[in-house]
Amino acid sequence: MSENTTLPTAADVQARLLRGPYHQWLGLEVQSVADGEITITAKFRDEWVVNVEGGYIHGGILAALVDLGADWALVSHTGKGVPTIDLRVDYHRAARGDLKVVGKVIKTGRQVSVAEANVFDAEGRLVASGRGVYSTPAA
């Protein structure tokens, strides 16, 4: 059961998400929101490229997207922002082009909660995944 009695819409989350200049720069667009789940797309930017010859995206961008997907999945459940305590990211293949992030709450707690996110390329291949621990005190 959600702590937030009224679930935010994708438009609500989009408006909140884009308050942050970094989120704007990432070209984030909320595709869907459910209780404890979110899907976000990120529009490719040339500045993401770490290797010009290979054209693949820097791992820091992928880690940020994992953190954002997991964090905002929790926001969809709690209705409020949640600071990251710990983050684990696994890289599965070189990423190129536009990306899709799917975040899901794993466990909510009185002090800390856990969520995960998967990052997919435009062909639907998993490029990165991870899990975060977030501060979620009731007060």
Confidence of residue 64 (pLDDT cuts 50, 70, 90): very high
Section 35-56 average pLDDT: 94
Structure-block tokens of residue 24: 């704007």
- Global pTM? 0.92
User: What is the pLDDT at residue 8?
Assistant: 81
Section 92-96 average pLDDT: 97
Burial 89-111 (b: 16+ CB within 10 A, else e): beeeeebbeebbbbbbbeebeee
Residue 122 has pLDDT above 90, yes or no: yes
Domains and CATH numbers, the chain: 10-135 (3.10.129.10)
Section 38-64 average pLDDT: 95
**DSSP string of 49-95?**
EEETTTTEEPHHHHHHHHHHHHHHHHHHHHSS---EEEEEEEE-S--
Confidence of residue 7 (pLDDT cuts 50, 70, 90): confident
